[in-house]
């Protein structure tokens, strides 16, 4: 994999599961993020010392994303248990994807075309498995939210999807 493509592919595969559920920048279609909740984002599902570790840069991005989403969704103390499980899945997914991407990167120079395709398929399958886990954890959290908080979550995710659509369209226009 070329030195320019590998980081882009890694970033895309790493962040998609986590970013699929949050807005990382304020969009004109949503109100600015609320002030931080009275309680700090849960650290109960923080990475363990025995699990593979994320690079400092990626870990910082994941943690910033988790903190931002915690604020945007206005997570209360009563929701911290479900939130902690959701945040833990986001962290685990990021660690797993980084590990999978590093493995692919190490093997890439000796891969033939078929092995390259199989390796990419394995990454896609890993991503799909991560999404299943993330959706399940988010479903538990979302179902526990009061209706007003669900509306906020709906707005956050809709704005994020719209942001991705605009960015994708701009990228297509720029490359054509």
CB 37 within 8 A of CB 80: no
Confidence of residue 176 (pLDDT cuts 50, 70, 90): low
Per-residue pLDDT tens over the stretch 39-48: 344 444 444 4
Is pLDDT above 70 for 101? yes
d(CA 158, CA 51): 33
Per-residue pLDDT tens over the stretch 14-23: 444 444 333 3
Nearest to 13 by CA among 127, 135, 162: 127
């Amino acid at each position: 994999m070329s030195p320019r493509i590998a980081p882009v592919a890694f970033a895309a595969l790493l962040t998609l599961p986590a970013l699929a559920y949050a807005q990382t920048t304020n969009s004109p279609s949503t109100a600015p993020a609320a002030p931080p909740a009275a309680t700090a984002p849960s650290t109960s599902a923080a990475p363990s010392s025995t699990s593979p570790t994320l690079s400092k840069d990626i870990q910082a991005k994941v943690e910033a994303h988790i903190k931002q989403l915690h604020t945007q969704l206005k997570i209360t103390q009563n929701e911290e248990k479900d939130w902690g499980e959701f945040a833990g899945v986001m962290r685990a997914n990021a660690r797993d994807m980084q590990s999978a991407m590093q493995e692919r990167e190490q093997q890439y120079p000796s891969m033939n075309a078929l092995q390259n395709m199989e390796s990419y398929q394995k990454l896609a399958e890993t991503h799909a498995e991560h999404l299943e886990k993330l959706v399940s954890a988010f479903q538990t959290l979302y179902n526990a939210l009061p209706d007003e908080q669900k509306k906020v979550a709906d707005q956050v995710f809709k704005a994020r999807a719209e942001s991705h659509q605009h960015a994708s369209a701009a990228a297509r226009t720029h490359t054509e």
